[in-house]
Chain A
Amino acid sequence: EPEVTQTPSHQVTQMGQEVILRCVPISNHLYFYWYRQILGQKVEFLVSFYNNEISEKSEIFDDQFSVERPDGSNFTLKIRSTKLEDSAMYFCASSARQANEKLFFGSGTQLSVL
């Protein structure tokens, strides 16, 4: 069965450094998402992406965050200057259509900001 892949599985970085989290969504999917879960908290929405542009973003997704689909297969999340509170498990997801479609999630990247 097709799956969403994420790399790396773990990322440790120093506060203030830039990180790029990478995802390869399922190939015929059109909608892409990033979610995160801070330890002990709910999974929370960051951003959705469709037709090469952001379709919706949460309050968390400030100017320090950006997303890109550079080559038609990869979908990346960049955090320009990481903060301690960015430490979380970051999930990429994709869906074939938006309406009433289940999301396919990757297995996540655990980001630790020291």
Chain B
Amino acid sequence: ILNVEQSPQSLHVQEGDSTNFTCSFPSSNFYALHWYRWETAKSPEALFVMTLNGDEKKKGRISATLNTKEGYSYLYIKGSQPEDSATYLCALRWGNTGKLIFGQGTTLQVKP
């Protein structure tokens, strides 16, 4: 059974703290790894789509790395702000198919 796991499940940090979380996935037949940010009552919003081993992408204070050989991706947030509070979802596109297989998400709460 193809399984995507995220850790931790939830995280509480103070404003200004930097934080990171992990997405683990089977390394065989890898196609792409997606990161989405999902704020309560809003649509999940794409952050990154990563395809190459060693990929590193950055969007403002948020960055992500990818290791397809060992099957993990890290998402980093530098200097967390209250508006970063959201659930961060990773999803694996596995094989030559359009469907995404999601992890359970990491819920980040940033306290002012």
Contact = CB atoms under 8 A, between A and B. Distances in A.
A95 B99 CA distance: 11
Nearest to A4: B43
A95 B97 CA distance: 13
Nearest to B34: A102
A65 interface: no
B99 A100 contact: no
A11 B74 CA distance: 37
A30 to B, nearest CB: 11
Interface stretch (A14-22, A40-48, A67-75, A76-84): A40-48
Contacts of B97: 56
A25 interface: no
B49 A58 contact: no
Contacts of A48: 98-99
Interface string A76-112: 0000000000000001000100101111111110000
A99 to B, nearest CB: 8
Given A45-B99, A100-B49, A107 B41 contact: yes
Interface of B: 4, 31-32, 34, 36, 41-46, 49, 51, 89, 91, 93, 97-105
Given A48-B98, A50-B98, A103-B34, 12 more contacts: A3-B43, A4-B43, A31-B98, A42-B103, A43-B89, A45-B99, A95-B98, A100-B31, A102-B49, A105-B36, A105-B44, A107-B42
